[in-house]
Structure formats: C-alpha cells, structure tokens
Amino acid sequence: MDFLQQYVLQHLGWLPKNIKDAYLELQQEYRARERTGYKNLEQIQAYVFTRFPATYRVCLKLIEQHLKDFEIHSVLDWGCGIGTASLALSEYFQNLECFLIEQDQQAKSYAMQFIKHFYPNNIVNQDIPSKNVDLCIFSYSLGEVSNWQTILDDVWQKANYLLIIEPGTSAHYKQLLTVREYMLTKGAYLLGPCCHTNGCPLKSNDWCHFSVNVPRSKEHRMLKNGERGFEQEAYSYMLFSKIPKNNNDFGRLVAKPRLHGGHIDLKICTKDGKITTPTVSRSSKHYKSLKKCVWGDVIKHELP
Ligand SMILES: C[S@@+](CC[C@H](N)C(=O)[O-])C[C@H]1O[C@@H](n2cnc3c(N)ncnc32)[C@H](O)[C@@H]1O
C-alpha cells in the first residue's frame, strides 16, 4: 500500500470497499472522456486508491528523468486534484513552494492537507502566483479544458519550465502535438520527449508514449477486480523550457528495447526527427550500456 493510501485509511477512515460504485462511475466517465473533476467525496477517494498510484509514479519517473537536477523551489500545480504532482516533486525538492489550482474545492483542501502532513516545511498557496515560479505542471489536467491556449499563455509568462502529462493514448498524443506546435511558436525550447523540433516522424497508427509499472495494493486490486500485483500506466508528455539546452543527445528510445540472445533491437527517435531501428550486437562497444536502457531513456551516442 502506498503512503497516501495508508494515511487516508488510518487518519481519515476512508474505506475502499464503500467506494466501488464511485470507482466504476469514475472509470466509465474517464473512458468516455466525459469527466472533469470529481462528483463527490467518494470519487475523490476512488481516485486515491486507483488513479493516484499511477499518476504519482508517472510524475516521479519524469522528475527523475528530466527535472531532478534543475533548481526548483516553486511549482504551479494546475489541476492539482489531490496534489499528486506537488507530492511527487516534494520527494526531490525540499521546502517547495506550491501554488495549487483546482476547480474542486474538496480535492484542493485534501491536496493542502496531504502536502502539509507529509512535507510540513513546504509552503502551500491556493491561487495563481503573483510572482514567477520555477515550474508549471499539468499532470493529467490540460486535456480536461477547452481554453488551453489562454491558460498556457497565462502560465508561460510566469514559469521557467512547463511540463504537461497526459494519458498515453493516440488521441491525447495528437492534442499534445498541437500544444507542442503552439509552444514552439511562442519561442519555448522543447526538452522532451523529442530531441528535435521537426514534425513528429511517427506515422498515424503509432504515437509517442511511454510506460511505468505501478504496484497495486490489495485495496487497489479489490476495486479493479484485478489479481495482478501491478499494472502498466501508459503516458505521453511534453516538457518546455525558457532556457535552451545544449543538446548533444542522439535520440530517445520510443519503444521498449527488445533483448534477444546476442543482440538488442531498439527504436529511436533521433535528434534529426527521424525514426531509426538499429540492432546492436554483443560485439558493439555500446552493448553493455544499452542493455541497461529502458523505454524513454535518451541515447547519448550515435548508433548506425
Ligand atoms: C485527471 S485529474 C488529475 C489530478 C492530478 N493532477 C493528478 O495527476 O493526479 C484532473 C484535474 O484537473 C482539474 N481541472 C479540470 N478542469 C479544471 C479547471 N478549469 N480549473 C481547475 N482545475 C481543473 C480537475 O478537477 C481534476 O482534479
């Protein structure tokens, strides 16, 4: 069970078995893309037990991959829900100042409660900051609004970095490509996943997404009628910066590397905006390091 599930069971008395209907409703609306926010406390609770473990892990993965060495003291967490992204960032950055934007007052007050409980040294604000922040993050929230251009115009004036995370479906990725185009015309630098600013080379039946393993607690399995102790969460993202990055990377792995007896098959989106699918054999000097690479990693050195 993760730290938040333990906390809500012990301190708030939330009982997963009472929220099964709310979970089914949430899931139905989510699949039909009808959902914005939560209808009631039961849906918030269902989110903690079934969606939070996944969105939290995705945030952690992207922080580890891209942000952990940046100077981040403040974050604008837009559509924060129960505070997922701020909680994940707080694992890496101490004394973080969080600005929480959330339409659902109940979810927002839980976000404040959770952040203050687990990270008492953080400063938590409830509004758009009047000053600039280091990072603005939309964790699974930008896709829920139609006036995204206006919102991005506003937050981009205030943030050095902008991270947008969405579910890893082709439809969400298409939306992210539109956002990418929009941000590039605003002069933003793209830090990931693309190592280039050309058009996306993936063809219509393929799209850029990644995946994390999410452990499932007993309660999580009970709600989903699932038996497996983990699930895969697919996600897509775009990370923009006001500060250009010295980019010498060869490209990014856009599929899970396939390990065979004596060789590895890779699929890489290169810095020239092309897809290449090299086979690296055991005799290659890069074989050892590439064996450790995972889907989503950057490849530093040129491969034939
Ligand atoms: C899928 S949830 C994601 C929650 C959280 N960021 C996470 O990653 O777990 C999307 C959140 O965006 C919020 N949201 C949607 N439209 C909004 C708006 N116009 N203003 C503020 N929050 C909004 C919803 O209420 C919901 O909490």
Decide: helix, strand or coil at residue 110: helix
- Cβ proximity of 127 and 158 under 8 Å: no
**Euclidean distance between CA atoms 163 and 145, whole angstroms:** 16
**Euclidean distance between CA atoms 90 and 300, whole angstroms:** 29
Tokens of 200: 């996306």
Distance from Cα 268 to the centre of ligand 1, integer Å:
32
Closest to 73 measured CA to CA, from 100, 99, 97: 97
DSSP line for 93-106: STT-EEEEE-S-HH
Q: What is the pTM of this model?
A: 0.96
Write the CB contacts of 116 (distance below 8 Å, at least 6 apart in sequence).
Answer: 122, 124
- Judged against a pLDDT cut of 80, whether residue 247 lies above it is answered with no
pLDDT of residue 33: 66
Ligand 1: residue whose CA is nearest its atom 11: 79
Per-residue pLDDT reduced to its tens digit, 66-88: 999 999 999 999 999 999 999 99
Ligand 1: residue whose CA is nearest its atom 13: 79
pLDDT of residue 142: 96
- Kindly indicate the confidence band of residue 223, based on its pLDDT and cuts at 50, 70 and 90: confident
Phi, psi torsion values for 193, nearest 5 degrees: -75, -20
Decide: helix, strand or coil at residue 32: coil
Distance from Cα 150 to the centre of ligand 1, integer Å:
16
Closest to 137 measured CA to CA, from 63, 247, 68: 63
**Euclidean distance between CA atoms 167 and 212, whole angstroms:** 12
Write the CB contacts of 43 (distance below 8 Å, at least 6 apart in sequence).
Answer: 22, 25, 26
- % the chain with pLDDT above 90: 78
Q: Which atom of ligand 1 is nearest to the CA of 59?
A: 8
- Judged against a pLDDT cut of 70, whether residue 259 lies above it is answered with yes
What order of strands is seen across the sheet that includes strand 251-253? Answer: 275-276, 268-270, 251-253, 298-299
Q: Which atom of ligand 1 is nearest to the CA of 107?
A: 27
**For the structural domain made of 3-241, what CATH number should be given?**
3.40.50.150
Decide: helix, strand or coil at residue 215: strand
Q: Which atom of ligand 1 is nearest to the CA of 80?
A: 6
**Euclidean distance between CA atoms 78 and 50, whole angstroms:** 21
Pocket of ligand 1 (CB under 6 A): 36-37, 52, 55, 79-81, 84-85, 101-104, 107, 139-141, 144-145
CATH 3.40.50.150, the chain: domain bounds:
3-241
Ligand 1: residue whose CA is nearest its atom 20: 103
